[in-house]
Chains A and B, each alone.
Chain A
Amino acid sequence: MINGATNLPQMSLILNSRLDCVAIAGILARTFCECTGFSPLESRQIEVCVVEAINNCIIHAYKLHTGNTVELQISTKGSALIFEICDRGDGMDPRRLCDTYGKPFDLDSNTTLNDMPENGRGLSIIQSLMDAVEYTSANNTNRLTMTKHFGRTVGNQR
Chain B
Amino acid sequence: MNFETRASGRYLVVTILEDRLGADRALSFKESLTQLIDNGHRAFVVDFSQVTFIDSSGLGAILSIAKRLGTAGDFLIAGTCETVGSMFKLTRMNRIFPMFSTVEEALAAPRVCP
Contacts and interface: CB of A to CB of B under 8 A. Distances in A.
A19 B22 contact: yes
Interface string A115-126: 011111110110
Contact of B90 (A26, A58, A59, A125): A125
Interface string B56-88: 110111011011000100000000001100110
B56 A125 contact: yes
14 contacts: A19-B22, A44-B53, A48-B87, A51-B23, A55-B56, A59-B23, A107-B95, A116-B93, A118-B67, A125-B55, A125-B56, A125-B87, A129-B90, A156-B90
B83 A121 contact: no
Contacts of B59: 121
Interface in A101-123: 105-107, 111-114, 116-122
Which of under 10, 10 to 19, 20 to 34, or 35 or more describes the interface residues of A?
35 or more
Interface of B: 20, 22-24, 52-57, 59-61, 63-64, 66-67, 71, 82-83, 86-87, 89-93, 95-96
Contacts of A40: 83
B96 A122 contact: no
